[in-house]
């Protein structure tokens, strides 16, 4: 069982979410080693008591659990199996916990490759956004061996509030894809509703207020729709990442023969949004694209 103050943790990927998650591990008292492509974010955590590793292999040699929080499937593969990757620093009983949102199929393959090095893998993609990462209240969707997950729970509990074990490795990633397609479909609906009201001269702020009092109430309507209305679109969760996640969901559906029209439309719309140069804005910027395509300016 992992223990604060004793069990050493490694964290790779200090982006918007990862840096806050790593900081919560430090606050809980876990000895922490960090690695990131951008050195500045590493130095911020070193000032707070973390140790820096020059490579993922060096980090893996020094810790009991490696946590990843990376943008996409190729990034995870490179960190795990590339030159000076985690696999080169693997030791018996090492555990890799991947909180990234990546391909479920690739995750199953990565787990099998790590197993040949004596390393167990848990996929634990998260939901809740940057504020939940700061507050340590993320929702964790877990795939992997139950006993391995149980051993990691003291670590996971520093970062999250809700934990659901969904099945074997890869199950967490599949459910994260479900999470993203539901968010995207709801965001498409909210974006259309705002554009429709603006076209008819109805105040979309009051529309949102009315909908929040009824069955249409949702996290997206509460948060994302407000961002569209206020045009506060700094990420957040970048549009490029939502496009990536929608493609992952579409790929999973295609492999299983599932009819997914909302997801297919989401892939197209978020691709179009990224092509307008808004790939670095929050995913809620989809609302601006819908308004533009509706002939609404300003």
- Cβ(289)–Cβ(273) below 8 Å: yes
Instruction: Examine residue 4 and state whether it is found in any structural domain, yes or no.
Output: no
Domain count within the chain:
2
Q: DSSP letter for 53, please.
A: -
Q: Is 176 considered catalytic here?
A: yes
Q: Do 165 and 203 reside in the same domain of the chain? A: no
Asked whether the predicted pLDDT for residue 298 surpasses 90, the reply is: no
What confidence tier does 101 reach under pLDDT thresholds 50, 70, 90? very high
Which pLDDT tens digit goes with each residue over 203-219? 999 999 999 999 999 99
Q: Would you say residue 1 has pLDDT above 80?
A: no
Query: What is the chain's length?
Result: 298
**Mean per-residue pLDDT, 123-146:** 96
The pLDDT value recorded for residue 289 is: 97
**Rounded to whole angstroms, how far apart are CA atoms 125 and 173?**
6
Reduce the DSSP state of residue 48 to 3 states and report it: coil
Judge whether residue 181 has pLDDT over 90. yes
- 30 and 165 share one domain: yes
Within-domain flag for 163 = yes
CATH number at residue 121: 3.40.50.720
| CATH code of the domain in which 235 resides | 1.10.1040.10
Residue 120: C-alpha distances to residues 66, 192, 255 (Å): 10, 44, 26
pTM of the model: 0.93
Domain extent for 40: 9-169
> Residue 135: which pLDDT band, with cuts at 50, 70 and 90?
very high
Provide the β-strand partners of residue 176.
Answer: none
* Mean pLDDT computed over 12-33: 96
Which residue among 112, 139, 169 closes a domain? Answer: 169
Helices assigned H by DSSP within the chain: 18-27, 39-47, 56-62, 73-81, 104-115, 129-135, 146-159, 171-199, 204-212, 219, 225-230, 239-256, 261-273, 286-293
Q: Is 95 helix (H, G, I), strand (E, B) or coil?
A: strand
294: three-class secondary structure by DSSP: coil
Choosing from 115, 150, 169, the residue where a domain stops is: 169
CA distances from 58 to 62, 132, 213, 242 (A): 7, 30, 53, 32
Please state the rounded mean pLDDT for residues 125-147.
96
What are the tens digits of pLDDT across the range 27-84?
999 999 999 998 899 999 999 999 999 999 999 999 999 999 999 999 999 999 999 9
């Amino acid at each position: 069982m992992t223990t604060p103050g004793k069990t050493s943790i490694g964290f790779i990927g200090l982006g918007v979410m990862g840096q806050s998650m790593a900081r919560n591990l430090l606050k809980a008292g876990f000895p922490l080693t960090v690695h990131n492509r951008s050195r500045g974010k590493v130095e911020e955590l070193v000032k707070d008591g973390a140790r820096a590793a020059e490579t993922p292999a060096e980090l893996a040699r020094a810790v009991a659990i490696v946590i990843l929080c990376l943008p996409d499937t190729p990034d995870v593969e490179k960190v795990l199996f590339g030159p000076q990757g985690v696999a080169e620093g693997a030791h018996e009983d090492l555990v890799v916990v991947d909180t990234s949102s990546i391909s479920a199929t690739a995750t199953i393959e990565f787990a099998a490759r790590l197993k040949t090095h004596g390393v167990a893998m848990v996929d634990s993609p998260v939901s809740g956004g940057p504020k939940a990462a700061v507050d340590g209240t993320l929702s964790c969707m877990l795939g992997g061996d139950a006993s391995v997950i149980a051993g990691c729970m003291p670590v996971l509990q520093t970062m999250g509030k809700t934990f659901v074990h969904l099945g074997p490795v890869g199950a967490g990633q599949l459910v994260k894809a479900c999470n993203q397609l539901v968010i995207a479909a709801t965001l498409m609906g909210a974006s259309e509703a705002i554009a429709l009201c603006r076209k008819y001269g109805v105040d979309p702020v009051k529309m949102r207020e009315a909908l929040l009092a009824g069955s249409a109430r949702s996290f997206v309507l509460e948060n994302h729709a407000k961002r569209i209305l206020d045009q506060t679109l700094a990420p957040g969760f970048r549009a490029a990442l939502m496009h990536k996640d929608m493609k992952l969901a579409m790929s999973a559906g295609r492999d299983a023969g599932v009819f997914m029209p909302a997801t297919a439309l989401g892939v197209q719309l978020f691709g179009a949004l990224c092509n307008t140069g808004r790939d670095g804005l929050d995913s809620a910027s989809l609302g601006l694209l819908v308004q533009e395509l509706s002939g609404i300016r300003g």
